[in-house]
Amino acid sequence: MTTDRYDGIYPAPAGSLVAVRDDARPREIGLFDLADGKTRWYEVGRALTAPSWSPDGRRVLFTTRQLDHFGFIVLGADGARFPHPVDTRAFPCSDYCFFVWSRDGRDVVLQQTDLSRSRSEAARHPRRGVQFFSADTGRPTRFEPLPGDPAGPWSWSPDGKLVVVQGREEPLLVEAATGRVVNPLPSADVVWVDDDRLLYRRPLGTGDFVLADTTGRELIRQPLPRQLVGLEVTIAPR
């Protein structure tokens, strides 16, 4: 795959597809298939976030922020497009607002602002939790009282009991069912290896990868090869 042909490259966590973006085609997304070397372009819409792959690598999620509606769009690997508007009066979100996949890929998740607490542009807005919506129908399904924002589907532990979120001041490990803070962590962008260990890239320095336990204690630190230090690296569970 020739990377200099595209302005954004987003590999799926499973399968042979890679989502690609071309700034000259702002309403479209390309799906490059490593199996045959072909790129197929599909029109998705405007005012979109970067694409986010489902855990099984079969669907792509976009947050859409058009003036006439807010919501999410799911694009199938075959180009089928499914838009789902979300009423922010019923499900209020301010500051950082973007949909992410749930770990099982059945739902997408949106941060919910705690409107009962004071907000300031100098700090991240307080959260009362996250709302789950069906990826198929767009209907609300359940709620988790998380005090921050999960980065993606791998933020949840495999058993679903723990989740890593970006809190107002620092990354936090919390109980999914209650929102109770277990302890702070060095990074909110993690991938769980199993229910007791997680992998993250250090946010400072040369960006070494660290395997840690749920207390944040480093078990293994692995430097990247020099040619990868300044690049974005995508990781996902096996």
- Which tens digit of pLDDT belongs to each residue from 54-67? 999 999 999 998 76
The verdict on 31 and 123 lying in the same domain is no
Q: Are 126 and 116 within one domain?
A: yes
Give yes or no: residues 67 and 93 share one domain: no
- 33: β partners: 17, 38
Q: What is the pLDDT of residues 29-38, one digit of tens each?
A: 999 999 999 9
92 and 59 housed in the same domain: no
Looking at 85, 101, 134, the residue that finishes a domain is: 85
112 vs 45: CA distance, rounded Å: 25
- H or E element, residue 236: none
Residues 141, 79 share a domain? no
State the residue range of the domain holding 198.
86-238
Token pair 């209907």 is at which residue?
139
Q: Beta-carbon neighbour count of residue 70 at 10 Å?
A: 19
Q: Does residue 2 have a pLDDT over 70?
A: no
Task: State how far the Cα of 141 lies from the Cα of 196, in Å rounded to an integer.
Answer: 28
pLDDT tier at 160, thresholds 50, 70, 90: very high
Domain shared by 76 and 98, yes or no: no
pLDDT at 1 over 70: no
CA distance 165 to 155: 7
Question: Domain holding 143: CATH number?
Answer: 2.40.128
